[in-house]
Each structure stands twice: as C-alpha cells, then as structure tokens.
Amino acid sequence: MYTVYVLKSLKNNYRYIGQTNNLNKRLNEHNSGLSKSTKNIRPLVLDYSEEYATRSEAMKRERFLKSGKGREWLTSINH
C-alpha cells in the first residue's frame, strides 16, 4: 500500500506533497530534519492523505496534486 500525503508547515503554512509506503516513518523523517526539502519549515503536520495499491498510481496522484489544478483542489477541500 502506498500513501500520497500532504504536510503543512506550522511555521509558515507551506504545503509539501509526497508519496511513501510507510507514512509514519516518513513523517518522522520530515520532522526530524532528515528530509532536505522540509528541514527548514518544521514542524510539519499531516494535512491530507490517500492510499493506493501501487506506487505508479500514487506517483500519478502526487503529480496531479503538485499541479496547479491539484493545488486548487487541495485548497478547496481544506477551507
């Protein structure tokens, strides 16, 4: 099982979108500063997630959520 996730920075409200096969481990890596892309925007909280059976499905959804339309959709469901 693969998870597409959206993290929100409590520091500056920045949104980070990624995918993983172990969400708890990945969230801990982000909040421990082990991820270069989110090291300076910690702490982070899980804002949204979806599960997929295959990595390719998760990667396709991740690409969509990182697009303009995907970001608009995320904003619309979080308000």
Global pTM reads: 0.93
CATH class as words, domain 2-77: alpha beta
Residue spans per domain, the chain = 2-77
Average pLDDT of 57-71? Answer: 97
Q: What pLDDT is attached to residue 78?
A: 75
Q: What is the pLDDT of residues 14-58, one digit of tens each?
A: 999 999 999 999 999 999 999 999 999 999 999 999 999 999 999
Q: What are phi and psi of 17, to 5 degrees?
A: -120, 130
Q: Which tokens go with 68?
A: 């303009």
- Residue 79 pLDDT class (50, 70, 90 cuts): low
Of 25, 12, 76, 68, the residue nearest 48 (C-alpha) = 76
